[in-house]
Amino acid sequence: MEDVLKILEGNARISFEDLAKLTGEKEPELRKMVNKLEKKGVIVKYKAVINKELLPGERSVLALIEVKVSPQKDVGFDAIAERIYKFPEVKSCYLLSGTYDLLLVVEGKSIHTIADFVAEKLAPLEAVKGTVTHFMLKKYKEDGVILRKKKEIKRLTITY
């Protein structure tokens, strides 16, 4: 099963025929296994990694926001995390150890829309005690995929 998951993580579009060849399992059993893993919530989503910097037109802005919160009695961080991750601007939400409690990946049309999100939606929440926002300037690697290939240096050879 771990082999199947590792292969699917690397290539979610692989056919069951190719998956069977790589794992030595039979196609019908692989289909059942993957279906079962999807129903259990082990496989949550199939996704394409897109280098948005190469797309024409307006790009969105990404920010990493560290959030310090007060845990709530009987539910700890879960209730405030749920309240925060339900905002449509929040693409990912993680519980951390260290100085801050939550790490958010937030997407907006501009720096100003992210600033507005923090000022108008996030910071006013009672459990939120502080935030630090880091704007993403450039992505080099995402989900294990290198987004920028090295450019070939095209220089003329100098001879004497």
CATH assignment of the domain containing 78: 3.30.70.920
Using the predicted structure, report yes or no on whether residue 33 has a pLDDT greater than 90.
yes
Q: Can you name the residues that pair with 62 across neighbouring β-strands?
A: 107
Cα–Cα nearest to 117, from 90, 137, 86, 92: 90
Q: Are residues 118 and 58 in the same domain?
A: yes
Domain assignment of residue 86, yes or no: yes
The distance from CA 148 to its chain's CA centroid, rounded to whole angstroms, is 18
Domain assignment of residue 100, yes or no: yes
Using the predicted structure, report yes or no on whether residue 101 has a pLDDT greater than 90.
yes
Domain assignment of residue 157, yes or no: no
Mean pLDDT of the residues in the chain: 91
Q: Are residues 14 and 66 in the same domain?
A: no
Q: Are residues 78 and 20 in the same domain?
A: no
Q: For 144-153, which contacts have Cβ atoms below 8 Å and span 24 or more sequence positions?
A: 144/9, 144/10, 145/49, 147/49, 147/51, 147/53, 148/51
pLDDT for the residue numbered 52: 80
d(CA 11, CA 6): 9
Q: Could you tell me the residue range of the domain that residue 30 belongs to?
A: 2-40
Cα–Cα nearest to 128, from 80, 89, 87: 80
Domain assignment of residue 85, yes or no: yes
The distance from CA 89 to its chain's CA centroid, rounded to whole angstroms, is 13
Q: Are residues 17 and 96 in the same domain?
A: no
Domain assignment of residue 156, yes or no: no
Q: What is the pLDDT confidence band of residue 144, given thresholds at 50, 70 and 90?
A: confident
Q: Are residues 22 and 99 in the same domain?
A: no
Domain assignment of residue 160, yes or no: no
Domain assignment of residue 61, yes or no: yes
Domain assignment of residue 154, yes or no: no
pLDDT for the residue numbered 147: 85
Q: Are residues 130 and 57 in the same domain?
A: yes
Using the predicted structure, report yes or no on whether residue 38 has a pLDDT greater than 90.
yes
Rounded (5°) CA angle 90-93-97: 145
pLDDT for the residue numbered 10: 85
Q: Are residues 12 and 67 in the same domain?
A: no
In this prediction the pTM is 0.78
